[in-house]
A and B are shown apart, each in its own frame.
Chain A
Amino acid sequence: MSYRVIGIVVLAAILAAVPSIASEYWVALLTQVLIFGLLALSADLLLGHAGLFSLCHAAFFAVSAYTVAILQTRYGVTTIPAAVAGLVAGTLLAAVFASAVRTRGVYFILITLAFGYIVWGVAHRWASFTGGDNGVTNVPPPSLGGLQIVTKAHYYYFVLVVLAICLLGYRILTTSPFGLALRGIKSSESRMRSLGYRVGAHLYVAFIISGFYASLAGVLYIYYNRFVNPVAAGFPISVEAILMAIIGGTGTILGPFIGSGIILVLRNWVSGFFHYYTAVLGLIFIATVLWAPNGVMGLIRSWRSGNRGEGA
């Protein structure tokens, strides 16, 4: 327990120090890692806790980002109401897509995949509203009550603070009776039903909460990126979010962020000299499935319990 507290303090100190010790490039990359880590975490609420493999999380992410971008650039709405509208839009969409919880297994994957494509198709084709392939550009930097967040370092700190609050909420959610029920459903749905749980209702609500977290990632993304195009709604983003969670370790808080770090650093580094970045990603994924099915966090856990075993 105290190790955990020390770990959190050390991690917070390191994260807070990054802008003063690293270049702007790394600060920007780390911001991106945190934002996509949050997206991965949102998908992992379903995968790691409830056992549902969703392939449509880019949809909530993108709808929320588009909502903010359009409201700000076209209607002059200020940051806070635009961000709230983005969260509401993404979460409402999740409430509709949550109907996928009527299905399980491969059907769930396919339905969420189809849902994701619908949103991508709209972003891509409805050019008069979404700007088509060009998307929406020139989103102004966020401003909170007269305070503009312009520099990369300031935005990084802003993301850190928002994340800290979110992760605390996520932690409480996953240890609450509701979160425990999700893990129960993942383990044995039939037992949960006979214990009195309306399994569908629990999964439905979990899906909406997960969509809310993905929407929040979308809001953080649009103010980081300052433009959005259909790539944000694309299938590769949904897949990467899931891969990040699996590579880092599902069912944990840190895992999706570790996965996000691995994938984004690799993409920025490998794609500089090697054209087949996605092939490398594929190999990493295969290696994870074969040798570290519980991801990096699983490796750390087994390494720690192994050490303890030898010590005893």
Chain B
Amino acid sequence: MTIAIEVDNVSKQFAGLRAVDSVSLSIPQGERRVLLGPNGAGKTTLFHCISGTHQPTSGRIVMFGKDISNVSENARTALGMGRTFQISNVCTDLTVMENLLLGMLGTTSQKWSMFRPVTSDKELIGKAVASLERVGLQGRENEEVKYLSYGERRQLELALALSSNPRVLLLDEPCAGLSPSERTHFSKLVSGLSREITLLMIEHDIDVALALADKVTVLHRGRLIFDGLPDEVQKNADVKEVYFGRL
């Protein structure tokens, strides 16, 4: 079985705080892994280490057998990694369409093209319209992102993460802050993604998480305290104490 992502003994130290502490996990290709843990557990920090946003203090990140620890964030995207941000990070001064075009161009050499307008590529525009439809943003192409609702920004965030056709997709609390109906829509969207895509998702909503996950990993104070099947997670004593005990 091919391992899509291997996190090998990764730690991240912020001044006096060890936000991620010697975490190792390995995600086979095509698996859907949900990362659980209370606030401040280090989930987002671990994501940043995998995506290359942060350089881990120690440890290695391996993607499809290639050590990418020293590969820059943008080059990891070119290798097939896509991600969303916990706090929507989209280009708010641009239109929805422009955001998506940037995403689609980002992993191609066309992003350097200077001699013709981006809108002259009808095929590209067509693809962009289709992917906006896929996340439910049809008809909003020419809206400036700053006028989008919170939920729409989350949809765009997902569309951007998918725009480079990633093999590995990292979703950081994609449903956080959404209304129940938006949430249902969103989890349907995620579960409808191709099974080729290896998915690592941080999710607070236990029901959403357990419905979607092939396997679950639980972090607490930067440490990995559980790694196993969704059925087992609720029975696990450690997890009950630190996670469900708080609910």
* Chain A positions near chain B (C-beta within 8 angstroms): 172-173, 175-181, 183-184, 186-188, 190-199, 205
- Decide yes or no: A197 and B111 within 8 Å by CB, A175-B119, A183-B93, A187-B91 being known contacts: yes
Query: Is there contact, CB below 8 Å, between A195 and B160?
Result: yes
- Decide yes or no: A196 and B164 within 8 Å by CB, A188-B90, A191-B91 being known contacts: yes
Residues on A with beta carbons closer than 8 Å to the beta carbon of B113: 176-178
Comparing B13-21, B29-37, B72-80, the segment that makes contact with chain A is B72-80
Query: Is there contact, CB below 8 Å, between B92 and A188?
Result: yes
Residue of A nearest to B84 (CB): A194
Which of the residues B74, B90, B107, B117 comes within 8 Å of A193, measured between beta carbons?
A: B74
Residue of A nearest to B109 (CB): A177
Residues on B with beta carbons closer than 8 Å to the beta carbon of A184: 91, 94, 98-99, 102
Residues on A with beta carbons closer than 8 Å to the beta carbon of B106: 192, 195-197
Residues on B with beta carbons closer than 8 Å to the beta carbon of A187: 91-94
The distance in angstroms between the C-alpha atoms of A179 and B78, with both chains bound, is 20
Query: Is there contact, CB below 8 Å, between A180 and B78?
Result: no
Query: Is there contact, CB below 8 Å, between B90 and A177?
Result: no
B89 is an interface residue with CB less than 8 A from chain A: yes
Interface of A is mostly: helix
- Supply 5 A–B pairs (Cβ within 8 Å), ascending by A: A180-B98, A180-B105, A193-B72, A195-B163, A196-B106
Query: Is there contact, CB below 8 Å, between B53 and A190?
Result: yes
Q: How many residues of B contact A (CB 8 A)?
A: 37
The distance in angstroms between the C-alpha atoms of A173 and B72, with both chains bound, is 27
Residues on A with beta carbons closer than 8 Å to the beta carbon of B103: 195
Query: Is there contact, CB below 8 Å, between B77 and A194?
Result: yes
Residues on A with beta carbons closer than 8 Å to the beta carbon of B93: 183, 186-187
Query: Is there contact, CB below 8 Å, between A177 and B112?
Result: yes
The distance in angstroms between the C-alpha atoms of A20 and B190, with both chains bound, is 67
B246 is an interface residue with CB less than 8 A from chain A: no
The distance in angstroms between the C-alpha atoms of A123 and B99, with both chains bound, is 44
Query: Is there contact, CB below 8 Å, between A195 and B117?
Result: no
Residues on B with beta carbons closer than 8 Å to the beta carbon of A194: 51, 53, 73-74, 77, 83, 85, 89
The distance in angstroms between the C-alpha atoms of A172 and B94, with both chains bound, is 18
Residues on B with beta carbons closer than 8 Å to the beta carbon of A191: 85, 89-91, 160
Kindly list the 9 A-B residue pairs having the minimum CB-CB distance in the complex, ordered from nearest: A196-B106, A187-B91, A195-B106, A196-B77, A175-B117, A196-B107, A187-B93, A178-B114, A191-B89
Q: Which of B29-58 contact A (CB under 8 A)?
A: 51, 53
- Decide yes or no: A180 and B73 within 8 Å by CB, A194-B51, A195-B164 being known contacts: no
